[in-house]
Structure formats: C-alpha cells, structure tokens
C-alpha cells in the first residue's frame, strides 16, 4: 500500500452522511478510505458499489460501543499506512420515547456512541496519525449547541463531543493535530426515523412542515472544506435548515477527482 496516499477513517460510514462523504471522496486515486460501521453488510455493499472507483476502500466492521472492536478496526486500517483524517461521524438517537420512560441501557448506548466513541477513536488512532498534519472532524449536531428537548441525552453527548474537539484543538501547536466539528441541523437520513415503524419521528414531521431537510451531501461538502484547508482548527461549522420558501444554495462544492 502507498504510504503517501491520504488515509481517512469514516465512522458511521454506511449511514446517510457517511455514505454521502464517501461519494465525494471516491473519485481520488490517492485516498485510502476506512469504512467503519457496525452494519457489515452495508459496508460491503458500498465497497462493491465503488469497486471500479480509483480510491482504495478498506471495510472496517466495528461496534463503537466496544473499545476492543474499535482498536482492532483502527489497527487494521493502519496496516495500509498512516491516518491523515478521522471523521468521527457515527451517532445515534437515544430512543424514540420520552426521556422519563427510557432505561439505563439506552442512556449508556447513546453516551457510548455519541461521546465515548469519539474520544476512544481519537485516542486509539493517535499513534497512527500522520506526524505533524493529522485532522479529526467530529460530526456533532446543532443539538450540541442548542437544547434538543426530545432527546436530552443526545443533546448532552453532542455538547460534550463539541467540547472534546475544542479542548483537543487548543493543543494543536503542541500535537500538530487539527480538530474541527460540524453542527448540522436536521439532515434527511435514516437517523430521523423511528426504528420500530420506519416512519419519521413525530418531532421531525412537525419540523419538516416548516423547514427543508438538509441533503446529506451538504454535510459531506462541509467536511471536505474542513479537510481541504490546513489552517482551519477549532472551527464549529453550523449547517442550518432553510425555511421551505428559500431557494437552494448554488455555491460550487469540492470533490475529489482522480
Ligand atoms: N441526520 C441528522 O438530522 C443529523 C443532524 C445532526 C447531526 N447528525 C449526526 O450526523 C452523524 C451521522 O448521522 P446520519 O444522519 O448519517 O445517521 P445514520 O443513521 O444514517 O448513520 C449512522 C451510522 O452509524 C452507524 N452506527 C450506529 N451505531 C453504531 C455503533 N455502535 N458502531 C458502529 N457504527 C454505528 C449506523 O450503522 C449508521 O450507518 C451522527 O453523529 C448524527 O448524530 C445527524
């Protein structure tokens, strides 16, 4: 494997925002992409879909609730070369029901995926980061900046993930590692759906009546902009929902070509 190629691990790679980011990156020959997700079949489908793409894809089936599983996935990726970018993107809603009805397992799972895994992936990737130029992007949420009443555990975990990124960013001069975070509004991906019914959660239905849902590609574009600019550190990039009567943006977007 070419050590000079750019190594990117994307957690939650099989999800809406993860796969949109892969679509933007897949055109480059000089990129190794580690697809980390617990949905091994979905990762395999993505790898098969991009079989003819110039980038090199490395499937990393992994449960982000399990430190041993994360370590194994990151070590497997590091066999291909150093890690230039960790996109700590995976996340889950805590539960479809109100906070006062959920159990400890749901709270533990939410904190584990939305906060603990962000810190663990960073810690376990650290020895493999390319010296002097690595970059961590935390996909947090607008819910980490403003209270999300329908899911206070998620909101608290995302606020924690933002502060983790900011605290690490403060050491950039010492570590050489950039840390930035994304704070998307409501993005049209499977996370918005009640897993029991496949339907939008109630609060999403109400919101979507007034606002356009964000296309996952917009979040991918924001992530690529952060990747592309080596001066950016300690940024919290908000991507807001537009009201239904607002036309879409026409700003040209970055992508990777062979
Ligand atoms: N969609 C939105 O409205 C929205 C808004 C703000 C922030 N975000 C954040 O964006 C990120 C991506 O979410 P998305 O919208 O693409 O959701 P998604 O549900 O489409 O994707 C999430 C992915 O994470 C994976 N995953 C979940 N638990 C895992 C675990 N324990 N181990 C390994 N993988 C696991 C899932 O298999 C899935 O592929 C999340 O952190 C989410 O909180 C999403």
Residues with CB under 6 A from ligand 1: 12, 14-18, 37-39, 62-65, 89-92, 113, 139, 141, 184, 186-187, 189-192
Residue 257 lies in a domain: no
User: Does residue 244 form part of some domain?
Assistant: no
Three-class HEC string of the chain? CCCCCEEEEEECCCCHHHHHHHHHHCCCCCEEEEEEECCHHHHHHHHHHCCCCCCEEEEEECCCCCHHHHHHHHHHHHCCCCECEEEECCCCCCCCCCHHHCCHHHHHHHHHHHHHHHHHHHHHHHHHECCCCCEEEEECCHHHCCCCCCCHHHHHHHHHHHHHHHHHHCCHHHHCCEEEEEEECCECCHHHECCCCCCECHHHHHHHHHECCECHHHHHHHHHHHHHCCCCCCCEEEECCCECCCCCCCCCCCCCCC
Domains held by the chain: number:
1
Confidence of residue 258 (pLDDT cuts 50, 70, 90): very low
| Between 162 and 246, the higher pLDDT residue | 162
Q: What's the pTM value of the predicted model, to 2 decimals?
A: 0.96
- Of the candidates 229, 216, 132, the one whose C-alpha atom is nearest the C-alpha of residue 180 is 229
CATH number of the domain residue 56 falls in: 3.40.50.720
Catalytic residue among 87, 154, 164, 179: 154
Question: Do the domain assignments include residue 111?
Answer: yes
pLDDT digit string (tens) for 60-96? Answer: 999 999 999 999 999 999 999 999 999 999 999 999 9
Residue 50 catalytic?
no
Say how many CA atoms lie within 13 Å of 83 toward its Cβ: 29
Q: Is residue 253 part of a domain?
A: no
Average pLDDT over residues 26-48: 97
Domain membership flag for residue 245: no
Q: Residue 23 sits in which domain range?
A: 6-239
pLDDT, residue 254, reads 60
- Whether 256 maps to a domain, the answer reads no
Q: In this predicted structure, what is the pLDDT of residue 2?
A: 55
- Asked whether residue 57 is domain-assigned, the answer is yes
Q: Ligand 1 centre from 55 Cα, in Å?
A: 23
User: Would you say residue 229 lies in a domain?
Assistant: yes
1 pLDDT band, cuts 50/70/90, is: very low
Q: From ligand 1's centre to the CA of 191, what distance in Å?
A: 6
248 torsion bin: left (phi>0), alpha (psi -120 to 50), beta (else) = beta
For ligand 1, the distance from its centroid to the CA atom of residue 171, given in whole angstroms, is 28
Query: What's the 2 CA to ligand 1 centre distance in angstroms?
Result: 30
List pLDDT tens digits, range 103-113: 999 999 999 99
Burial of 185 (0-12, 13-18, 19+ CB in 10 A): buried
Mutate to test the pocket of ligand 1, among 10, 11, 15 (most ligand atoms within 8 A of CB): 15
């Amino acid at each position: 494997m070419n050590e000079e190629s750019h190594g990117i691990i994307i957690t939650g790679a099989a999800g809406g925002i993860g796969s949109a980011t892969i679509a933007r990156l897949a055109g480059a020959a000089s990129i190794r992409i580690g697809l980390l997700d617990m949905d091994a079949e979905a990762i395999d489908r993505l790898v098969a879909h991009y079989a003819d793409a110039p980038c090199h894809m490395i499937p990393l089936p992994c449960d982000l609730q399990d430190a041993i599983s994360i370590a194994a996935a990151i070590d497997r990726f590091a066999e291909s070369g150093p890690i230039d970018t960790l996109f700590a993107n995976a996340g889950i809603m805590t539960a479809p029901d109100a906070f006062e009805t959920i159990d400890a397992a749901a709270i533990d799972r939410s904190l584990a995926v939305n906060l603990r895994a962000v810190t663990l992936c960073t810690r376990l990737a650290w020895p493999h980061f390319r010296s002097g130029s690595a970059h961590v992007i935390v996909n947090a949420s607008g819910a980490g900046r403003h209270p999300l009443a329908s899911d206070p555990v998620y909101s608290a975990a995302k606020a924690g993930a933002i502060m983790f990124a900011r605290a690490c960013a403060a050491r950039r001069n010492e570590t050489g590692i950039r840390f930035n975070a994304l704070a998307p509004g409501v993005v049209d991906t499977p996370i918005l759906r009640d897993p029991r019914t496949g339907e939008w959660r109630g609060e999403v239905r109400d919101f979507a009546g007034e606002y356009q849902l964000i296309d996952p590609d917009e979040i991918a574009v924001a992530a690529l902009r952060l990747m592309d600019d080596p001066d950016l550190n300690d940024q919290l990039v908000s991507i807001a929902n537009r009201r239904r009567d607002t036309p879409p943006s026409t700003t040209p977007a970055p992508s990777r070509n062979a």
